[in-house]
Amino acid sequence: QVQLVESGGGLVQAGGSLRLSCAASGRTFSRYAMGWFRQAPGKEREFVATISSSSFTFYVDSVKGRFTISRDNAKNTVYLQMNSLKQEDTAVYYCAAGAYYRDPSGFDYWGQGTQVTVSS
């Protein structure tokens, strides 16, 4: 099992950038696919981006070209660089760990979330 703690959320203006970090504990971190999900008020949690243990990546269409997921296995950390932020990106962002990066439904371990608010 892996424990995850997100950080880096905050308030930014539309068009701005923010970088989220997820610190993981566990000896097997490098073997997990990692991902970022988000949930806006009144909406279901949705997949944003995932990254495999060897850094293959997968993104939801709405963030392609704007967001970049990356990982540093030596630091047990996964990142989400968010550029050109839009108001619709406002949500609580969650870090997650799973077995296969192309299967967002298979991410079973979750962090507590960090709030990202994009103002007009």
Nearest to 48 by CA among 112, 120, 107, 119: 107
Average pLDDT over residues 82-96: 98
Averaged confidence pLDDT in the chain = 96
DSSP string, 71-87: EEGGGTEEEEEE-S--G
Q: Rounded to an integer, what distance in angstroms lies between the CA atom of residue 63 and that of residue 79?
A: 15
Percent of the chain with pLDDT over 70: 100
Average pLDDT over residues 49-67: 97
Q: Is the pLDDT of residue 19 over 90?
A: yes
Q: What is the pLDDT of residue 2?
A: 86
Q: Is the pLDDT of residue 77 over 80?
A: yes
Average pLDDT over residues 2-25: 96
Average pLDDT over residues 96-113: 95
Q: Are 32 and 98 in contact (CB under 8 A)?
A: yes
DSSP 101: T
